[in-house]
Amino acid sequence: MTTAGDIMHRGAQWIPAHETLDRAAQLMRELGVGALPISDENERLCGILTDRDIVIGCVAMGRDPSKVTAGEMAQGTPRWIEANADISDVLREMKEHQIRRLPVIENKRLVGMISEADLALNLRENEIGQWAESVYARTGAPTTH
């Protein structure tokens, strides 16, 4: 059985909800990622911040990224998966919620992230095709998370 922990990208880092978007962008650059899970004061997942969120939800709206926090950008119920979950559960979660990135949790702690690239590296071609069709077909584009 292939699990979420088997295919995830290790080393994912939180951005605290109180951190500003300019700091989040710097951290994304340093880590070479396009998304960061947002943590509350108890290091619990309260959202995911993407580079697109910063551009569309802040900069394009004329807001100052040094004055807007990651927590202000957190929307909806964050999705996540346990590290020991089967890959079929990962695919189902991502398909049902049309998301491209999924935090992986173990013992209530962030241990990794699963992205489209991780799926592409670890799934068979037909599985990737089915996943992409379900995520992209409904609205033409997935959400950024």
- Residue 116 within a domain: yes
- Residue 113 within a domain: yes
Amino acid 137: pLDDT: 66
pLDDT tens, N- to C-terminus, the chain (145 residues): 789 999 998 888 999 999 999 999 999 999 988 899 999 888 888 899 999 999 999 999 999 999 999 999 987 778 999 999 999 899 899 988 888 899 999 988 899 999 888 888 887 777 777 777 777 765 545 455 5
- Residue 120 within a domain: yes
In total, how many domains does the chain have? Answer: 1
Give the span between the Cα atoms of 120 and 34, in whole angstroms: 17
pTM for the model stands at 0.80
Q: Which amino acid is at 136?
A: Y
- Residue 69 within a domain: yes
Amino acid 127: pLDDT: 74
Q: Which domain holds residue 73?
A: 4-137
- Residue 143 within a domain: no
- Residue 57 within a domain: yes
Give the span between the Cα atoms of 143 and 145, in whole angstroms: 6
- Residue 17 within a domain: yes
Amino acid 18: pLDDT: 96
CATH number of the domain to which 16 belongs: 3.10.580.10
- Residue 144 within a domain: no
Amino acid 138: pLDDT: 54
Give the span between the Cα atoms of 109 and 106, in whole angstroms: 5
